[in-house]
Chains A and B, each alone.
Chain A
Amino acid sequence: MIGFIIRRVLAMIPVLFLVALITFFLMKQAKGGPFDQEKEVAPSTIALLNRKFGLDKPAWLNTAEFNNRMSSDGPLAAVRGLFDSQFGNYMLNAVQGDLGPTYASKGTETVQDKIKQTFPISLRLGLISLTFALVVGFPLGILGALRQNTIFDYFSLIISTIGFSVPTFVTGLVLLLVMSKVFGVAPIKDPSVWEGFSMSYFPPAIILGLGTMAYITRLTRSSVLEVKRQDYIRTAKAKGLGDRVVIMRHILRNSLIPVITILGPAVAGLVTGSFIIESVFRVPGIGSEFIGAIGSRDYSMIMGSTLFFSLLVALGNIMVDLSYGLIDPRIRNS
């Protein structure tokens, strides 16, 4: 088990490195630096800012510094000099948990501070919507499958097809429209409501969880239908077990496994889906922050939050892989 965890954590490293590499490469392609969008700034100021953030260094490899140190300090220092570049320094700081200053704040605030401020809000949102997706999706799927081709089944099919196909920003905006036009609820302006758990989290959380809920419903339904037809269910019924025992002990437990397998992608979907929902409902979470950073071309914030999101997704996948073993002894022993 420990070996498995270590292997999986190590496998995360190349993925995260590739994400950083791709993001950094793409950010370099974008036109316009972070400091030249506002009103005219003196070239000397820009040079100073670039120097302050290390943007005057080469992007990838600092060959000049390599040659320089090779002749004076020897090969080891030269290699260190080679990586004295924007990317090299960024990665070196990132593994120590320092994601650098945000450009928007001109260096007074770091990216990790911003993440620390805004992530709890997104986490609350994500937890509520995951709970919603599980608590509603699972029973809805079971009900649909056990009462196949009845009104319950059709209801669960309709709900899950809508939730599965319609993008969240569409359902979210429709909900906002209904809330304001039909119920006269004004959109939330006061940011302090997001500081603890509050009722305001429910509309965005339910919309965010809708897709996951629908996916869980669909999967549970087909999984229960599959298990229902197995020989061991017939055996269980033949030996006279009551419906309740057959359903609870034989059908549900066995149909749970395929559902767990999608929880990894589901958590990823909740994490990356959050920034669309947050911008629809104006939730000041990390997703809104990311969208804001895109708008203002705050590259360090974009890099930092992308790495953070990728880390969350990777960790989510590991947790789910671990949970297979807890549920299914066959996987644990293989």
Chain B
Amino acid sequence: MATASNVAGTNPAQAQEFTRPVRSLWSDAWLRLRRNRLAMASIVYLFLLALVAIFAPVIAPHSPGRPTTTELRERGVYRQAAWVVDEKTPKRSGIWKFPLGTDSAGGDVLSRLIYGTRVSMVVGFIPMIFTLTIGITIGLISGFAGGKLDSLLMRFTDIIFSLPDILFFIIVQTAFSQTAFGKTFNGLLLIFLSFSAVNWASVARLVRGQVLSLKEKEFVEAAEAVGVRRGSILFRHILPNTLAPIIVAGAFIVPSAIVTEATLSFLGIGIQPDTNPNNPFPTSWGQMILEGKSAIDSQPWILIASAIAIASITIAFVALGDGLRDALDPRQ
């Protein structure tokens, strides 16, 4: 230590290093995240996708809705991607006006892909907020209250946790998809609710565990000793300390919600397609995969393009989640 201060005294550059500003957990985590190239690339990619989702009407070369009769003549049905030449039926050869070709109704595949970004973004983030809200509330109450309420809530959580979730979603979709409630926002509301109704259980378990261990910590004892009210202890001392694992959990909820929507739409019971050009959510990538599956021989690019879109968005979110976990959990 003595030599260190000697050196610091003689060398101004090192003296500065010794008096650098205090770094919080969050700025530390941010520094670690910035060093993770895969996570940073994912953030950039997802930011670009968010822009595409917001500015879809500006970016998309054509309307995602059903084309008019005159448009249809030009577009053709199952027109191949621009670089594919169809020798048997020349009018189906690709042209650059429709870079990824057209689908069975003459819809421009690229424009639909661009609009599909919206569904994936919305379906990723809104259920995450619902799920975290329910999970954090139940977890906090359960962990903080303890006793009978705790065991009651946890028994309920266990039951929800052991429900086979995709089965539950399928049944909920079948039950409500034809009702007015099930048709709100093309069925998106129903997907949000059924997803959050099952997935909060793991968040609640996580938060409860955190609260139980934090309750025993010295700083909580100190806060109690100086007479801080229970509510303040919960929200000002315990909740902020559970944030790191909650953020990581939230980051993994997003891709899982996106996959759920895509899976349900692929099974034909997810969001409902809409040919109305003014609908902000006319199509989803899962739906395009379903269409691409039936056009696997006639126009494979519907399938390829939407498969790449879903694969890349989920990989990006998982890579970001991994990066956040490594950054927020210094033990790793």
User: Measured between alpha carbons, how far is A280 from B293 in the docked complex, in Å?
Assistant: 9
Q: A26-B175, A30-B174 are in contact. Are A169 and B164 (CB under 8 A)?
A: no
Q: How many A-B residue pairs have CB under 8 A?
A: 112
User: Measured between alpha carbons, how far is A279 from B317 in the docked complex, in Å?
Assistant: 27
Determine the residue in chain B with the shortest Cβ distance to A276. B263
Q: Which residues of the other chain, A, contact B332 by a CB distance below 8 angstroms?
A: 222
B245 to chain A, nearest CB (A): 15
A276 with B267: CB separation less than 8 A: yes
**Which residues of chain B from 150 to 174 have any CB-CB distance to chain A below 8 Å in the complex?**
159, 162-168, 170-172, 174
A173 with B171: CB separation less than 8 A: no
Q: Which residues of the other chain, B, contact A177 by a CB distance below 8 angstroms?
A: 296, 300, 303-304
Determine the residue in chain B with the shortest Cβ distance to A25. B175
B314 with A165: CB separation less than 8 A: yes
Determine the residue in chain A with the shortest Cβ distance to B259. A167
Q: Which residues of the other chain, A, contact B307 by a CB distance below 8 angstroms?
A: 170, 173-174
Per-residue 0/1 for A142-175: is the Cβ within 8 Å of any B Cβ (1 yes, 0 no)?
0000000000000000000110111101100110
B164 with A309: CB separation less than 8 A: yes
Q: Which residues of the other chain, B, contact A295 by a CB distance below 8 angstroms?
A: 268
Q: A169-B266, A272-B166, A276-B267 are in contact. Are A31 and B179 (CB under 8 A)?
A: yes
Label chain A's interface by main secondary structure: helix
Number of B residues, CB within 8 Å of A: 42
The yes or no answer to A224 lying at the interface (CB within 8 A) is: no
B168 with A161: CB separation less than 8 A: no
The yes or no answer to A111 lying at the interface (CB within 8 A) is: no
Determine the residue in chain A with the shortest Cβ distance to B309. A170
The yes or no answer to A134 lying at the interface (CB within 8 A) is: no
Q: A22-B168, A174-B307, A313-B162 are in contact. Are A180 and B179 (CB under 8 A)?
A: no
Q: Which residues of the other chain, A, contact B293 by a CB distance below 8 angstroms?
A: 173, 280
A121 to chain B, nearest CB (A): 19
**Which residues of chain A from 285 to 308 have any CB-CB distance to chain B below 8 Å in the complex?**
291, 294-295, 297, 302, 306
Determine the residue in chain A with the shortest Cβ distance to B315. A165
User: Measured between alpha carbons, how far is A68 from B331 in the docked complex, in Å?
Assistant: 69
Q: Which residues of the other chain, B, contact A294 by a CB distance below 8 angstroms?
A: 170, 174, 267, 269
B171 with A165: CB separation less than 8 A: no
A310 with B315: CB separation less than 8 A: no
Residue picked from B168, B175, B300, B314, most chain A C-beta under 10 Å: B175
Contact of B318 among A32, A161, A173, A181 (CB under 8 A): A161
The yes or no answer to A29 lying at the interface (CB within 8 A) is: yes
A173 with B178: CB separation less than 8 A: no
Per-residue 0/1 for B299-332: is the Cβ within 8 Å of any A Cβ (1 yes, 0 no)?
0100110010011001101110010000000001
Contact of B167 among A29, A31, A181, A306 (CB under 8 A): A306
Residue picked from B167, B266, B311, B317, most chain A C-beta under 10 Å: B167
The yes or no answer to A314 lying at the interface (CB within 8 A) is: yes
The yes or no answer to A254 lying at the interface (CB within 8 A) is: no
Q: A166-B311, A294-B170 are in contact. Are A173 and B164 (CB under 8 A)?
A: no
Q: Which residues of the other chain, B, contact A173 by a CB distance below 8 angstroms?
A: 289, 292-293, 296, 303, 307
B319 with A161: CB separation less than 8 A: yes
A166 with B314: CB separation less than 8 A: yes
Query: Which of A11-19, A89-97, A243-251 interfaces with chain B?
Result: A11-19
The yes or no answer to B262 lying at the interface (CB within 8 A) is: yes
B326 to chain A, nearest CB (A): 10
The yes or no answer to A23 lying at the interface (CB within 8 A) is: yes
The yes or no answer to A27 lying at the interface (CB within 8 A) is: yes
Determine the residue in chain B with the shortest Cβ distance to A312. B164
User: Measured between alpha carbons, how far is A310 from B171 in the docked complex, in Å?
Assistant: 13
User: Measured between alpha carbons, how far is A113 from B315 in the docked complex, in Å?
Assistant: 41
The yes or no answer to B18 lying at the interface (CB within 8 A) is: no
B296 with A15: CB separation less than 8 A: no
Please list 11 pairs of residues, one from A and one from B, whose beta carbons are closer than 8 Å in the complex, sorted by A's number: A22-B163, A27-B171, A165-B314, A166-B310, A167-B314, A169-B289, A272-B164, A276-B267, A294-B267, A306-B171, A313-B162
For the complex with contacts A15-B159, A26-B172, A180-B297, 4 further pairs of A-B residues with Cβ separation under 8 Å are A29-B179, A161-B315, A297-B174, A310-B167
Among all A-B residue pairs, the 6 with the closest Cβ atoms: A26-B175, A165-B318, A165-B314, A29-B175, A166-B311, A30-B175
